[in-house]
Structure 1
Amino acid sequence: MNLRFSRCAIADFDDYFSLRCEKENTLWTGYQKVPEKNELYDWFSRQLKRKDRLFFIVRDEENGSAVGYLYIDILGDNNEIMETGHGVSSKMKGKGIGSAIIKFAKDYTIEQLKSVKRIDGWIASDNIGSIKNVLNNGYHKTKDQKIISFEGFGQDKIMVRYEYIIEQ
């Protein structure tokens, strides 16, 4: 499957909303229930205006359907760190889309965000698919951990930081 990555625009909201309403995406974003449409629309609109976040929709090139999304957050005093967050449609799991999103984020950062020296991804210690995706894209596991409460899972999860160091 060929994928098309494009910066989100307000016209992408309905597709993003559909992705976020899928059970797995709802759970992994920390919620039990699907988002309320008007609240998510307000949040989505604010994200599009942020200077420290790039927001992409991922589409199947052939039919235009939304298959995922990506956030790239630019952090640090000198914009030297980038963090990613992404989601893949539950209907498209196991097709390499998550790995393609991570590869796109890495390549985009290297080519377009010259101040970034390190790419971080915080991943739940039991999210084997995402761990494989980042390791296959050259990331390395660090010792950094934090605990995040995931309402939808009814438990806290240990999040581990994986990093990709950009050679200058």
Structure 2
Amino acid sequence: MNRADDVYDVREWANPGEQGLYYFFVSEGKREIIKVVQYEYVRQFRNRPLFNLGFGDYDYENDRVTDNETSDNNDHYRVFNTVLQTIPRLFEQFKDGVIVVRGSDSSPSFITKCRNTCKRRCDDSKCKKAHRRIGIYSTFLNKHFEQLNLEYSFYGLDGLEDCSATEPYEKGKNYRGVIIEKRLN
């Protein structure tokens, strides 16, 4: 699902008693930053386990993931490729699993908080900082859709909360989330 030659080494960790996986790696640049790709079980989706893909910096002191930092390590392609490399790994562990990808910058709370602190002064209808994260994934998917569609099925989400309101993914259409499932042959 990505360029395997331009990725960081990842360490997998499964939390006993939880259904989900974590992949840790270190972003290298101006400073070393521990990053984590977090797959958390959400619920059943079409009789298959649905996992939310979360990604961000790992806050070791508080044992949590923060996704609102900009690291500025100048390694964004390598980081993105590393995140993508974990998707097939999740499907190896959970053969019937389904992944939902959403951006935390698409939530109403993000937009409200942004309006309160943003210097851009966007109008009420559009926040210019919103939906950037899902846009990155969608751009990659649109570019490689024909190839990826051979192995995976994709569905677009118009909302953030209800993963049942899906439609087959259409290239170029703006979605608030994407559901990925490995084709079961």
The correspondence of residues 78-157 of structure 1 with structure 2, limited to 5 A, is 80-87=49-56, 90-92=71-73, 95-116=76-97, 118-123=98-103, 124-125=105-106, 126-137=130-141, 140-146=155-161
TM superposition shift of 1:80: 2.1
Return closer, same or farther for 1:130/1:120 CA change in 2, 3 Å cut-off. Answer: same
Return closer, same or farther for 1:113/1:54 CA change in 2, 3 Å cut-off. Answer: same
Residues 101, 134 of structure 2: 8 Å contact kept: no
TM superposition shift of 1:69: 0.9
Return closer, same or farther for 1:104/1:48 CA change in 2, 3 Å cut-off. Answer: same
The correspondence of residues 60-71 of structure 1 with structure 2, limited to 5 A, is 65-71=32-38
Q: Structure 1 residue 3 and structure 2 residue 8: aligned?
A: yes
* 1:52 aligned residue (14, 19, 32): 19
- 2:122 equivalent in structure 1: none
In the alignment, residue 132 of structure 2 is paired with which amino acid?
I
Q: Normalising by structure 1, what TM-score?
A: 0.52
In the alignment, residue 145 of structure 1 is paired with which amino acid?
L
CA RMSD after TM alignment: 3.3
Amino-acid identity (%):
10
TM superposition shift of 1:58: 1.2
Structure 2 unaligned segments of length 5 or more: list them.
1-5, 58-69, 107-129, 146-153, 162-174
Give the 3-state SS of the residue equivalent to 2:56 in structure 1: strand
Aligned residues: 115
Return closer, same or farther for 1:84/1:141 CA change in 2, 3 Å cut-off. Answer: same
Higher relative contact order (CA 8 A, sep 6+): 1
Q: Normalising by structure 2, what TM-score?
A: 0.48
Residues 52, 74 of structure 1: 8 Å contact kept: yes
TM superposition shift of 1:121: 1.4
Q: Which has the larger radius of gyration?
A: 2
Task: After superposition, give the CA deviation of every residue in 1:124-166 in whole Å (9 maximum; x if it has no partner).
Answer: 33142442135414555312234xxxxxxxxxxxx93221132
- 2:177 equivalent in structure 1: 161
